[in-house]
């Protein structure tokens, strides 16, 4: 989850822009915030990271931290090769 979230935050951190968070008749009261420091960026990144988690599979033949990784496991690759 952490690696997916880091990737999404790095991806969205490259875009610049300002968010206007309030509209007032008095222009001095309007507030603007950088997108890269906003909660909106965090929420969008978490949503996309959750979608990215669905691409992970369990690799039963592995016993270390790479047990959960993207792609097809060696076991399933072998089985598909037999068919």
Q: What is the pLDDT of residue 31?
A: 80
Q: What is the pLDDT of residue 26?
A: 73
Q: What is the pLDDT of residue 62?
A: 75
Parts of the chain with a pLDDT under 50? none
Q: What is the pLDDT of residue 61?
A: 76
In the numeric block, which tokens belong to residue 78? 């072998």
Measure the CA–CA gap between 32 and 68, rounded to whole angstroms: 40
Domain that holds residue 50: 2-82
Q: What is the pLDDT of residue 70?
A: 78
CB atoms within 10 A of CB 47: 11
Query: What total of structural domains would you count in the chain?
Result: 1
Measure the CA–CA gap between 52 and 50, rounded to whole angstroms: 5
Q: What is the pLDDT of residue 66?
A: 74
Burial pattern 8-29, b for ≥16 Cβ within 10 A else e, equals bbeebeeeeeeeeeeeeeeeee
Q: What is the pLDDT of residue 25?
A: 75
């Amino acid at each position: 989850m952490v690696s997916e979230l880091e990737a999404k935050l790095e991806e969205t951190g490259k875009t610049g822009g300002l968010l206007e968070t309030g509209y007032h008749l008095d222009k001095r009261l309007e507030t603007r915030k950088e997108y890269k420091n906003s909660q909106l960026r965090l929420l969008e990144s978490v949503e996309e990271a959750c979608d990215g988690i669905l691409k992970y599979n369990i690799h039963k033949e592995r016993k270390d931290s790479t047990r959960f990784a993207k792609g097809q496991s060696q076991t399933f690759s072998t089985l598909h090769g037999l068919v």
